[in-house]
Amino acid sequence: MGNLWIGRPGSMTEIDQAAKSFDRSADLGVSEFKSLGGRVTVTRNQAPVRRLKLSWDLLAPVHARALDRLARRVDGSGPVYVFDPAAGNVLTPGQALGLGVSGATGITGLAQWFRTTSTGTVAESTTAAGSFTFTAADTTSTVAWRCTATVGNFPVAPGLTVSFRAPTAIAALGTTAKTGIDYKKADGTYLSSSTVYGPLVTGTAPAGAVYATPTVAPGVAGTYSLAGACLTYGGTAEDGVPGDGLPPLAITGYSDNPGRPLPYRNIGLDLVEVSGAAG
């Protein structure tokens, strides 16, 4: 896998030094209640919250300064994103499985995907509630994946390796399918693409790239399950990798201790998954 990247879209910093400590455990939100009779009742949050704890010893000044500015919000507020080298698939768990909330048209359901051509349809399966499919009307019909964390495109950075594998049903078509990654500027306008005829595409985000959108054209008319897709940063996308998601994060803890020798610094960050971080 690649290195860790951290920051806001358009100003991501690559940290090429391995962290001394890297804890990515999710907060399950589990509480136990034990009755007088000894029986235990468990309650938990509906969705686990991602937490990251990172620390570096003798971090190079250029990286230490970038993390310091990020923690102190020198360049503005808003959520932070981390391209985690341990995450094999930055699609959400639902997207990776082709699943969503039955009947939902927003980013928990139908809006996780969209078509980029005038033909083709994304729809909930009529035989399996909560399972979503793409119907290609002709050889040009193309489906794309939406980053639910940004309600748009997936954040990237120039020089970052991005790899995308088509859903299992479409990958089985072989070179009939056209798999791509569209790179976009900060305002969402198109910049360039990496494309192949086949199920797997890997490219490097070019200069000026801030976002990316993975796409697939089956190349054959028909209805295909969206399960099995994989989008990976810093490596090669593989089949069957669970979705980790790319949640917006807020920095809730920060430590900065001068190292020996200076100007190296010992840096620690605590981050938590949030729905917003504007304050």
Q: Extract the tokens encoding 19.
A: 């962290």
pLDDT at 131 (0 to 100): 97
Residue 276 has pLDDT above 70, yes or no: no
Task: Give tens-digit pLDDT for 69-109.
Answer: 999 999 888 899 999 999 999 999 999 999 999 999 999 99
Which of 2, 9, 8, 5 has the alpha carbon at shortest distance from 63? 5
Q: How far apart are CA 71 and CA 66, in angstroms?
A: 9
Report which DSSP code applies to 72.
Answer: T
Task: Give tens-digit pLDDT for 52-62.
Answer: 999 999 999 99
Task: Give tens-digit pLDDT for 8-63.
Answer: 999 999 999 999 999 998 778 787 878 878 788 887 777 788 899 999 999 999 99
Residue type, 181: I
SS3 68: helix
Task: Give tens-digit pLDDT for 213-256.
Answer: 999 999 999 999 999 999 999 999 999 999 999 999 999 999 99
Q: CB neighbours (10 Å) of residue 128? A: 13
Q: Give Cβ neighbours of residue 88 (< 8 Å, ≥ 6 apart).
A: 1, 230, 232, 235, 238, 241, 242, 244
Q: Which residues face 254 on adjacent strands?
A: 269
Task: Give tens-digit pLDDT for 142-194.
Answer: 999 999 999 899 999 999 999 999 999 999 999 999 999 999 999 999 999 99
Tally the residues of the chain.
Answer: 279
Q: CB neighbours (10 Å) of residue 100? A: 25
* pLDDT band at residue 266 using 50, 70 and 90 as cut-offs: very high
Task: Give tens-digit pLDDT for 108-156.
Answer: 999 999 999 999 999 999 999 999 999 999 999 999 999 999 989 999 9
pTM of the model: 0.92
Report which DSSP code applies to 151.
Answer: T
